[in-house]
Structure 1
Amino acid sequence: MTDDVLTPDQITALRSTVAGLMPQVRQDLEALTRIPSVSLDAFDQAQVDRSAEATAELLRAEGLDVEIVREGGRPAVIGHIDGPQGAPTVLLYAHHDVQPPGDDADWDSPPFEPTERDGRLYGRGAADDKAGVMAHVAALRAHSGNLPVGVTIFVEGEEEIGSDSLPTILDKHGEKLRADAIVLADSTNWAIGEPALTTTLRGLIRVVITVTTLDHGIHSGMFGGAVPDALMPLIRILASFHDDAGDVAVEGLSAGTASQLDFDEARLREESGLLDGVETVGTGSLLDRIWAKPTATVIGIDAPSVAKSSNTLVPTASAKVSIRLAADEDPLEAYAAVRRHVEKHTPWGAKVEVTLDDQGSGFAANADGPVYDQARAAFADAWGVQPVDIGVGGSIPFVAAFAEKFPDAGILVTGVEDPDTRAHGANESLHLEEFEKVCVAEAVLLARLGALKG
């Protein structure tokens, strides 16, 4: 049961406390957002170090014992504070690295100068995921040195580049991170005013397909018609990934099913920016298609550009394909299936190589039990409506890594985003009223989990 764990007065007091904290929480969030902590190699990694130090200082100020760890990658921050005797320990995860800003011209305000417009705070990382960091800090502050649970905070520094050193961190520092409940704050809510718990995530593989037909470029007028250029078979291979309806046609890939929430084509078009007249692709429910079924997206091609092209048969061409997988699909088995598909559909004896560029497992939560009960109650306390369970079509491989490392912990995937956040894109933003509710929900969740002890 959840209705008698906290009294209405306790919940009201926490809500009021968080409201009073929000001006300082926002100020600290803006200070973090001003640090351009892009973890890609091409960017200044001193800024990622600076972001880690700023995060560590925020946690030290709340009384946590803090260390910055680096296991071959970007710096991560681990902080811990004990709770009352016999109380559970809760691990709170976020990441302090951010995506590249892209072209500044695409932003309506500078990407690393947080700016409020119409109740939203714009800036790279303002939502993904520095707001996740500050939601954890706000929850600590709400209990003002009297935490009802033990808390460990783990703030990663390379989530946006694949979390390559996370397995080593979990191996070497896993005991510091062990917890009864884990809150991974890097997802989204269903809509403004409608909270959600993410219970499924798709897996991922990225492959690079390289096709070669010639040992050098040759005159297209002299040899075209008899000699295939590399782009001809590459285009045919890429076209073979989908059937006429737009479903993925790779034999051996499985498909899952999604929660059937109210989600129609009009909402899909609004949230995605699909142009008028452009049809949707695939079959089945829209949520099955974007949350649970496999997808194949060409995200890059190496070939001569239109501006610099010549009348030459191209000897070699490559494409990078991002393939999202059903939550229970094994990434390496999926890669083998894709490789077989490419080899089967390569025409004219062209030489083809399929390289695995990245992989990540999906996640399907066991969304029952006391931790989930208290999480759903805490969300209802904060928003005034019951949360929904959602899937996310994107991939967050670190969630599966935590689930494997800590199989007995209740794992909650939460987030500060909403359908308008535009994480990873220009004009990324955070809805400030929703962010306050996120902070309330997390503060209440800690209280609820603490009340379960014994």
Structure 2
Amino acid sequence: MTEPLLTRSASGDADPRIEAFRSAVESGFPLTIADLAHLVKIPSVSWPAFDPANVARSADAVAELVRGLGVFDLVDVRRAPVGGVEGRTDDPELGLPAVVAHRAARNGRPTVLLYAHHDVQPPGRDEDWDSTPFEPTQRGDRLYGRGAADDKAGVMAHVGAIRALTEVLGADFDLGISLFIEGEEEYLSQSFANFLHENRDLLAADAIVVADSSNWDIETPAITVALRGAVAFNMRVDTLAHASHSGMFGGAAPDAMLATVRLLDTLWDAEGSVAVEGLTSASLETPDYDEQQLRAEAGLLDGVTPIGRGTILSRIWAQPAITVTGIDAPDIANASNTLIPGTRVRISARIAPGQDADEAFAAIRAHLEENAPFGARLTFDDVDTGQPFLVDTSGWAVAETRAAMTDAWGKAPLEVGIGGSIPFIAELVDEFPDAQILVTGVEDPDSRAHSPNESLHLGVFKRAVLAEALFLARLDARVSES
């Protein structure tokens, strides 16, 4: 039976074996970065327009790394059904491959499920990058490349932490560990619920660590406690049966672009806050975060002012937001003097913690239908929803995480919200209602996930690996309460 680790003496001094973990992470860090770079080189984009063979290759590479840890009784690459997926070329009935691993707990120890994802966003245009997206490049303290932060660094945080754990404790520890490295998080996690259900016995755990979020800054760790939900859909606006000469009929016949612009403008008030009746806000305390910091992190141009009301972080964490992310209409190169009969827009909304996503979509749709100008006809399709989430911070898993982060970073973590969404967390709650869920991450405000020049700060990453290793060690010294 493992001797208790990482306890504190009556004087408050930390167990000196913390330094053993720090040394293990430090000595193993070059290999951790080399393995991360190998994963980043695999263009594992999960969107249907990209080759799914690269996602399969990425899953195989992750599985090989996990087998090499020598601590799991089972390591496998698996897929689960999702139904028909438009545009998929390999097998439309199955999701993309994920890696699952498991070792059983012993001697009353808890089991922890470690989650990350190995798929990535499309890279965009090469000319928007300062280095090739899938050629990991270190400049200063940062490693650049698509997936270097989101979320192949999350994968390697788990791998690096387990390596450090085995170096200090040996492979014969008592903690139960399950691993789930998803392959389609960047494309709606369409098989996620089925995967959880089919692999429930392997993935059931007392605590779940979702390594897919960010830290406050490069010196301060964070535990994510609030996530906004998501609603996205296409809306078509039609006003004419066919295109007509703009000189002959302009000024009398309403074209679809006019109706679309007028309709979209009703979604916000004069200050840029969402003006849709039925969308709610949450009450969350927010740390200090001023306009200057917003300008630096969001890239506001000189003279451009922030939008919304309330503290800046409340606007991002606790209030709804609506963004038009795409418009289908003639481009300028093909523009003619024509009244456009129809347009199509993609609308993406973020909803506050505490609101049901389907209820939010119904409110937005009702608003649009009630405000359609000139009798424009609206049709809606391709609706995607994801539930928001609030973390219960009262459990032992959050307390152990706080302690581990404080030891690793030398600074206590902040509890933060995230303006983005991780909809599958609600599915984790549905499948494992008794598990304590922790949302952590390896990113920082300048990681620019999903954007050109995505990067990982190596100092942040090293501290994140150490924090997780210390967290696992603390759990190995804990008797399960389940």
Q: Which moved more, 1:383-392 or 1:60-69?
A: 60-69
Q: Which moved more, 1:33-42 or 1:402-411?
A: 402-411
Q: Which moved more, 1:420-429 or 1:59-68?
A: 59-68
1:54 aligns with 2:76: no
How far, CA to CA, are the matches of 2:308 and 2:470 in structure 1? 41
Task: Give 1:237 shift.
Answer: 1.0
The structure 2 residue matched to 1:104, chosen from 126, 141, 148, is 126
Name the structure 2 match of 1:209.
Answer: 235
Q: Which runs of 5+ in 2 are unaligned?
A: 1-5, 81-93
Please list, as runs of the form range in 1=range in 2, the aligned pairs for 1:50-449 lying within 5 A after superposition: 50-63=57-70, 64=72, 65-71=74-80, 72-144=94-166, 145-449=171-475
Task: Give 1:256 shift.
Answer: 1.2
SS at 1:333's partner residue?
helix
Amino acid at match of 1:232: L
SS at 1:137's partner residue?
helix
How far, CA to CA, are the matches of 2:181 and 2:173 in structure 1? 19
1:255–1:293 Cα contact (<8 Å) kept: yes
Q: Structure 1 length normalisation: TM-score?
A: 0.98
Name the structure 2 match of 1:41.
Answer: 48
Q: Which runs of 5+ in 1 are unaligned?
A: none
1:139–1:439 Cα contact (<8 Å) kept: yes
The structure 1 residue matched to 2:32, chosen from 5, 25, 32, is 25
Aligned residues: 454
SS at 1:310's partner residue?
coil
SS at 2:284's partner residue?
coil
How far, CA to CA, are the matches of 1:2 and 1:256 in structure 2? 37
Offset from partner CA, 1:308-336 (integer Å, 9 cap, x none): 11011101101111100011111111111
How far, CA to CA, are the matches of 2:173 and 2:44 in structure 1? 30
How far, CA to CA, are the matches of 2:227 and 2:8 in structure 1? 30
Q: Which moved more, 1:62-71 or 1:91-100?
A: 62-71
4+ runs of 1 displaced by more than 3 Å?
A: 1-7
Alpha-carbon RMSD across the aligned residues, in angstroms, is 1.4
Task: Give 1:2 shift.
Answer: 6.9
How far, CA to CA, are the matches of 1:356 and 1:44 in structure 2? 23
1:148–1:447 Cα contact (<8 Å) kept: no
How far, CA to CA, are the matches of 2:297 and 2:215 in structure 1? 13
Amino acid at match of 2:338: T
Amino acid at match of 1:284: G
Offset from partner CA, 1:97-145 (integer Å, 9 cap, x none): 0011111111111111111101110111011000100110111111221
Amino acid at match of 1:161: Y
SS at 1:307's partner residue?
helix
How far, CA to CA, are the matches of 1:340 and 1:269 in structure 2? 34
1:259–1:389 Cα contact (<8 Å) kept: no
How far, CA to CA, are the matches of 2:368 and 2:220 in structure 1? 42
Task: Give 1:347 shift.
Answer: 1.2
SS at 1:121's partner residue?
strand
How far, CA to CA, are the matches of 2:164 and 2:438 in structure 1? 20
2:225–2:390 Cα contact (<8 Å) kept: yes
How far, CA to CA, are the matches of 1:105 and 1:11 in structure 2? 45
